[in-house]
DNA sequence: TATACGTTCAAGTTATCGCTTGAATGATGT
DNA sequence: ACATCATTCAAGCGATAACTTGAACGTATA
């Protein structure tokens, strides 16, 4: 039979340990933020609404599971994903959840279909049409995140500034908005507002982390 | 900002719930067995060494997470994976664990490198060479699992019978063995024994569940 | 109908997890 | 050296998960 049951068991235990690290709402949220780039504990605590001590503990748990790396920069400790493959792991987890959990489907239907009728545009299509000059790509995340890395050629228009900067956009071109990922609602909101103003707008599938994970070029600064 | 924080939180919670379902050694092992095909609670309890009540509870937990389906057949309740994509989820989880956890690498090194020097053969290569008649494919799992589904053209030689059935194998052909998956050691053991007898033997990458998940043909019965 | 068997349920114990609070550590700037 | 700030550690509480035991449920066989 499978000769040594010990190492098999140990492997199962390791897999379970990694899975358990993903097995908490707050840690999933932390990873979602960290998929954007490295962040300090304080920034993550603020973004998630967790106490510093609590955020720190969850981050250390993720680090112990091998999902995060930490480095010190001055008085801050910056965490980041240990590996770009972790985005893929989150993505597959999300797909599984979407397929299997009725409530997820319902949530998505409620918050996407009703607000954003059109299918999102795929990354490959987007690259093609952007090169042909057919689309204007806008990045609706906060400028801080834009600076850390964005789609080449994209214009930074944080959602708060969108209404004030409509005149910058070409009404003849199709506008494609993107933000942090499949479940970030920034881009959905942007599309809804743009359509209300008569623009032809769609959102890009997923968001920055998946773009990066797909090996597509990223511009920083 | 991201308009409603509620649905986002709910989504994180759902992802975490799925991950938490994978977050126990025994449930990972159960899924690994179920990747081979549907099994009764009794069979799974026997395979894993768990008590029936305990196995039942873990299975129900996996079912609640949407990872398993159950159906009744006579006095047995048969569980199976709710979705072939779950094999992919397990696979990505394994890859992440391998990349990130030193101990997993060490375990693999200890139990594979020392026993099975050659790289495993990829599925695409295997299909090609099998069609050209260059290799003999053997399935070293118990016959019960072979019957539930195997690689077309493969010969069922459970590991226990291998030594007694060496004369069936062509010493001139290359022999490729496969079993349940990347961490099943049946095929590794078979390769070691065959090489000791002078055969040219390798193992196939991964195993039956991944073959099935890759969309390659499967023969049953 | 009665019995056997596989499975699930319910209750109870032990261990672990998540969170808060308050103190300790480590780097920075005056 | 001192104060400041970001982070981590340590202790304690409440909640949840894992496992065992014994009983209940459903289905097939005598």
Q: Please answer whether residues A126 and A176 qualify as being in contact, where contact means their C-beta atoms are separated by less than 8 angstroms.
A: yes
> A66 is in which domain, residue-wise?
5-83
Indicate whether B79 and B121 sit together in one domain.
no
Half-sphere exposure of A87 (CA within 13 A, CB side): 22
- Chain B: residue nearest A84 by CA? B96
Count A/B contacts: CB-CB distance under 8 Å.
182
What's the CATH code of the domain at B41?
Answer: 1.10.10.10
Same domain, A72 and A154: no
SS3 B192: helix
Question: How big is chain A, counted in residues?
Answer: 221
Point out the least confidently predicted range of A1-5, B45-49, B141-145.
A1-5
Nearest one of A68, A37, A72, A58 to A147, comparing CA atoms: A37
Predicted confidence band of residue B91 (pLDDT cuts 50, 70, 90): confident
Cβ-defined contact of A83 to B92 (cutoff 8 Å): no
Please indicate, yes or no, whether residues A74 and A115 belong to a single structural domain of this protein: no
Whether residue B75 is found in the same domain as residue B148 = no
Half-sphere exposure of A197 (CA within 13 A, CB side): 18
Select the residue from B6, B9, B18, B102 to test the A interface by mutation, using most A Cβ atoms within 10 A.
B18
Query: What's residue B102's pLDDT?
Result: 54
* Chain B residues touching residue A159 (CB < 8 angstroms): 1
Determine whether A60 is exposed, middle or buried from the number of CB atoms within 10 Å of its CB (0-12, 13-18, 19+): middle
Distance from CA of A113 to the nearest CA of B (A): 14
Q: What is the C-alpha to C-alpha distance for residues A88 and A67, in angstroms, rounded to an integer?
A: 12
Contact A175, A193 (CB under 8 A): no
pLDDT of residue B1: 36
How many Cβ atoms are within 10 Å of A106's Cβ, its own excluded?
Answer: 12
- How many Cα atoms sit within 13 Å of B86 on the Cβ side? 29
Mean pLDDT over residues B180-204, rounded?
77
3-state SS, residue B193: helix
One domain for residues A132 and A47: no
Q: Identify all chain B residues contacting A97, using CB atoms and an 8 Å cutoff.
A: 11, 14-15, 17-18, 66
Residue of least CA–C1' distance to C26: A75
Instruction: Flag if A85 and B101 touch (Cβ within 8 Å).
Output: no
Residues B82 and B113 placed together within one structural domain of the fold: no
Whether B26 sits with its Cβ under 7 A from any strand D atom: the answer reads yes
Q: Is residue A90 part of a domain?
A: no
B110 neighbourhood in chain A, CB within 8 Å: 7
**Final residue of a structural domain among A43, A64, A83:** A83
Same domain for A187 and A122: yes
pLDDT of residue A215: 86
pLDDT attached to residue B100: 65
Judged against a pLDDT cut of 70, whether residue B130 lies above it is answered with yes
Question: Which residues of chain B neighbour A61 with C-beta distances below 8 Å?
Answer: none
Residue A46 included in any domain? yes
Q: Which residues of B touch A3 (CB under 8 A)?
A: 185, 189
Residues making up chain B, counted from first to last: 221
A100: nearest CB among B83, B93, B95: B83
Lowest mean pLDDT among A39-53, A172-186, B51-65, B82-96: A172-186
Scanning every residue of chain A, which has its alpha carbon at the shortest distance from the alpha carbon of B68? A100
pLDDT at B193: 79
Residue B6 neighbours by CB under 8 Å, 6+ apart: none
The residue in chain A having the minimum alpha-carbon distance to the alpha carbon of residue B103 is: A14
Contacts of residue B159, Cβ cutoff 8 Å, sequence gap at least 6: A1, B140, B186, B189, B190
Domain for residue B146, yes or no?
yes
Residues B69 and B126 in one domain: no
**A127 in helix, strand or coil?**
helix
A40 beta carbon < 7 A from strand D?
A: yes
A139 occurs within a structural domain: yes
Rounded alpha-carbon distances, angstroms, from residue B92 to B85, B87, B111, B211: 11, 9, 21, 15
- Which of A30, A65, A83 represents a domain boundary (last residue)? A83
Does one domain contain both A139 and A201?
yes
| A55 and A116 belong to one structural domain | no
Nearest to A35 by CA among A106, A102, A83, A103: A83
pLDDT given for residue A96 in this prediction: 87
Q: Are A50 and A117 in the same domain?
A: no
Distance of B11 CA from D5 C1′ (whole Å): 34
CB A3 within 8 A of CB B12: no
Residue at A161 is within a domain? yes
CB contact at 8 A, B178 and B166: no
Answer for the pair A30, A61: CB distance below 8 angstroms, yes or no: no
Q: How many whole angstroms separate alpha carbon B221 and alpha carbon B144?
A: 9
Residue A93 is assigned to a structural domain of this protein: no
Query: Using the CA of B79, which nucleotide's C1' is the nearest one?
Result: C7
Angstrom CA distances, A188 to A180, B163, B177, stand at: 11, 63, 50
Residue-by-residue pLDDT tens, chain A, 221 positions: 333 345 677 888 889 999 999 999 999 999 989 988 899 999 999 999 999 999 999 999 999 898 999 999 988 999 999 887 888 899 889 888 877 655 444 444 544 444 445 677 888 888 888 888 889 999 998 787 888 889 999 999 988 788 889 889 988 888 999 988 765 667 877 887 787 787 888 888 888 888 888 889 999 87
Check which CATH number belongs to the domain holding A132 and give it. Answer: 3.40.250.10
Residues 64-93 of A with CB under 7 A from strand D: 70, 75-77
B144: three-class secondary structure by DSSP? helix
In the predicted model, is pLDDT for residue B67 greater than 60?
A: yes
Domain boundary among B53, B86, B119: B86
**How far is it, in rounded angstroms, from Cα A29 to Cα A25?**
6
- How far is it, in rounded angstroms, from Cα A149 to Cα B31? 38
Q: Catalytic residues of A, which ones?
A: 179
**Protein-contacted positions of strand C (CB under 7 Å):** 4-10, 17-23, 26-29
Q: Is the CB of B74 under 7 A from strand D?
A: yes
Cα A85 from chain centre: 13
Asked if residue B103 is part of any domain, the answer here is: no
Residue from A6, A18, A36 whose CB has the most chain B CBs within 10 Å, to mutate: A18
In angstroms, the separation between the Cα of residue A81 and the nearest Cα of chain B is: 11
Residue B181 within a domain: yes
Same domain, B45 and B81: yes
Question: What token pair was written down for A30?
Answer: 């932390």
Domains in chain B: how many in total?
Answer: 2
Q: How far apart are CA A102 and CA A183, in angstroms?
A: 16
For residue A175, give the 3-state DSSP assignment: strand
Residues with Cβ within 8 Å of residue B116, at least 6 apart in sequence: B188, B191, B192, B203
Sequence-distant (6+) residues with CB within 8 A of A121 are A129, A176, A202, A203, A204, A205
Q: Determine if strand D comes within 7 Å of the CB of B51.
A: yes
- Residue contact A104–B23, C-beta within 8 A: no
Q: Alpha helices of chain B — where are they, by DSSP H?
A: 5-21, 25-34, 41-48, 52-64, 85-100, 102-108, 123-131, 143-148, 186-196, 208-213
* Chain B: residue whose CA lies nearest to A29: B12
């Amino acid at each position: 039979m499978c000769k040594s049951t010990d190492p098999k068991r140990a492997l199962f235990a390791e897999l379970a340990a990694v899975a358990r690290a993903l097995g908490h709402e707050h840690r999933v949220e932390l990873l979602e933020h960290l998929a954007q780039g490295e962040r300090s504990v304080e920034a993550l605590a603020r973004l998630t609404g967790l106490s510093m001590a609590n955020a720190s503990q969850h981050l250390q748990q993720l680090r112990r599971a091998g999902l995060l790396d930490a480095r010190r920069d001055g008085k801050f400790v910056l965490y980041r994903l240990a590996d770009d493959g972790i985005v893929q792991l989150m993505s597959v987890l999300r797909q599984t959840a979407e397929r299997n959990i009725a409530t997820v489907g319902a949530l998505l239907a409620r918050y996407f279909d009703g607000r954003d009728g059109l299918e999102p545009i795929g990354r490959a299509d987007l690259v093609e049409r952007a090169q042909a000059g057919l689309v204007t790509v806008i990045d609706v995340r906060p400028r801080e995140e834009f600076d850390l890395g964005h789609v080449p050629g994209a214009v930074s228009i944080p959602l708060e500034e969108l209404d004030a900067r409509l005149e910058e956009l070409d009404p003849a071109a199709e506008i494609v908005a993107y933000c942090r990922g499949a479940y970030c609602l920034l881009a959905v909101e942007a599309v809804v507002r743009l359509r209300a103003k008569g623009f032809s707008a769609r959102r890009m599938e997923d968001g920055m982390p998946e773009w990066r994970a797909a090996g597509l070029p990223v511009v920083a600064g």
